[in-house]
Amino acid sequence: MLRNSSRRFFFALAFFLFIFPAKSFAQENPSDSEKFLLDAVNRERTSENLQPLKWNASLANAARLHLHKMVERNSLSHQFSGEPDLARRLREAGAHFSSIAENIAEAPSVSELHIGWMNSIPHRNNIMNPKFTAIGIAIEMRGTQYFAVQDFSVAVNAFTKEEQEKKVGQLLQARGLKIETNSEEARKACDSSSGFSGARPLATIHFETPDLSQLPDQLVSAAKSGRYRVAAVGACKADESAGFSRFRISVLLY
């Protein structure tokens, strides 16, 4: 965090790898000043051939709740006493993510918020991080100063168990395996202590991932080996106690 005597621009940074729901704060679309910052961020990214960030209402609502605390206290902080950490705030706002970051700032104009962030290497790194896919922004004025929060994430889609199984099954099918339509046995295999009521699989592979668009190397190698003809896919209950979203999948190979 930086403060100087001119009170021109103050900022702080938090980065994390590894809601208080409030309907009065809910906002699906950005305000004019938030849209200004969103457009500024995406101009910077596209100038470096990076994908633009998509507006995420859950991130924005979490940012807005935290912003109100900063404005009330006339202070910059990523976490006030008694407040949940960033991962929990975003999760409670309904966001699903595999990594997150946050920029906060105070400046006398909206344009100077963006200029200050871009002139600060760690804040600029968040804005230009090629892995991030989503952003939520909140801005509020107190006196002559604008307070702002930018929350970034690698967004993870929320899929039902059936949707998870279908996506993994399609990837395996594209590699030549026939997909068992009944997922019951594979779901049972999520619990290693469970036995099999039908034919015992030749191999069982468990994996966790935030991205269901690709298979883990171990499973790719097994599919290529030619030893297996059929696969059953089961979606397991994921542990998201830390806020980060990951899919847990069990695959039985026959």
Q: What is the pLDDT of residues 55-113, one digit of tens each?
A: 999 999 999 999 999 999 999 999 999 999 999 999 999 999 999 999 999 999 999 99
Q: Is 210 within 8 Å of 157 (Cβ atoms)?
A: no
Q: Band the pLDDT of 174: cuts 50, 70, 90.
A: very high
* Cβ partners under 8 Å of residue 149, min gap 6: 63, 64, 66, 67, 70, 102, 103, 104, 137, 138
Summarize the confidence of residues 178-199 as an average pLDDT.
81
* Cβ partners under 8 Å of residue 156, min gap 6: 96, 97, 98, 210, 211, 245, 246
Name the least confident of 66-70, 168-172, 192-196, 227-231: 192-196
How confident is the model at residue 19, as a pLDDT?
32
How confident is the model at residue 52, as a pLDDT?
98
What's the mean pLDDT when you consider all of the chain? 88
Q: Which pTM was predicted?
A: 0.78
- What is the distance between the alpha carbons of residues 113 and 105, in angstroms, rounded to a whole number? 7
Q: Which of 166, 141, 173, 155 is nearest to 74 (CA)?
A: 141
How confident is the model at residue 27, as a pLDDT?
58
Q: Is 53 within 8 Å of 101 (Cβ atoms)?
A: no
For residue 25, pLDDT beyond 50: no
The tally of CA atoms less than 13 A away on the side-chain side of residue 89 is 26
For residue 223, pLDDT beyond 90: yes
For residue 21, pLDDT beyond 60: no
For residue 136, pLDDT beyond 90: yes
